[in-house]
Structure 1
Amino acid sequence: MSVLSKSRHLESCAGFHPWANSCVSSASQIWYAVFLAGFKLYAPLFLIPALIFKRKGIHFLATKTLPEILRSSVFLGTYAGVFSGSICLLRRIFGGDFKFTAALGGLLAGLTSILIERKNRRSELALYCLNQSLEVVWKMMAARNMAFFIKHGEVLVFMIASSILMYFYQCEPESLRSNMNGLLKFFIGKA
């Protein structure tokens, strides 16, 4: 997959996905690989809090938690698969690469995959993606000397985000989601 970031002006899609003969095969292989990786990521992320905080038994895990793990894994796989497939599709439509191929492919993948997740999770995913997008834009600008590079800048961003979260926890707890309030109460104590 590191080929995606290094491919420029390739004459055919074979250089874009050398492991597969067709674009559809490549996109489906990427979907499957990312789905499995997402399942490995989301299983402990959903199971551990369900076991610790909810303690409702195996029936709850099978009917509520497992479908959430699968939905989030399908979301991640769909994003990656549609992104890969849309790059090939856009290259065929426009006859090669153009400046915003990856950006347009990411937009199509995001619009398609976000429909899989529940509506109440979409805002969280949008905030996560915004964070990642801002980081990419900042690094691109720094590489072009349009912005400055801050060594260990992610620590500064974490401190700012944590202070904003703590402010809302202390002063406006009703503005936070109940699970976030519960998690902060568990680790920090009452506000």
Structure 2
Amino acid sequence: MADLGGRTPRTPQQAALRRHRMWQIAGIALLVAIAATSYLSHRNRLPGARALAGERMMVTGILSGDAFTIHTADGGSDAVQLLGAIAPEPPHAAESQRYLADRVIGREVVLQFDGTQSRTSDGRILALAYLTESECINLALVRDGHAFVDRRVQTYLQSQFAQTEAEARKRARGMWKDGDPDPMPAWRREWLGALKRPTTVESNR
């Protein structure tokens, strides 16, 4: 008998059982891999995972001053969060919401995506929305003083966003009519504070 180092040799039944268990584990791993692939494929086909880019969709409702619902081509609905534009809080929120409703309810929009993120953490489509080739709703909100420029994100329109907001403040449009609106988002206060802090330059001597 071969020296097995003190180990008890497996019986044919034990060896067969071990092979059976290995096949079971391999089968489960394969099913998990197939399920994961199927999920990712399905997720990427969901409206908002860039599948809606360039399609014209009807706006059906308003969620806030910077978000609305759309009717999708498959007969469903989805929520859109406007990229780069953040509506103010009360007392200016209602005016911002009315402005958005007047511009988009019952009209068709085309979505454009910028960057790698196409949905927010709560599942809303994150995009630029256009009524025409030259009329961006996100920019219109900022232009007429009904949204802040979101300084936490970068888009290919960032410089245009910044210039548009500066013009709205200069001309006292919308929420800027009485100076800086109050309350102001915490992230914007931090951004303004950073701008006001002096830049120190250390010289090597």
Short-chain TM bin: under 0.3
TM-score, length of structure 2 as denominator length: 0.26
TM-score, length of structure 1 as denominator length: 0.27
Higher strand share: 2
Higher helix share: 1
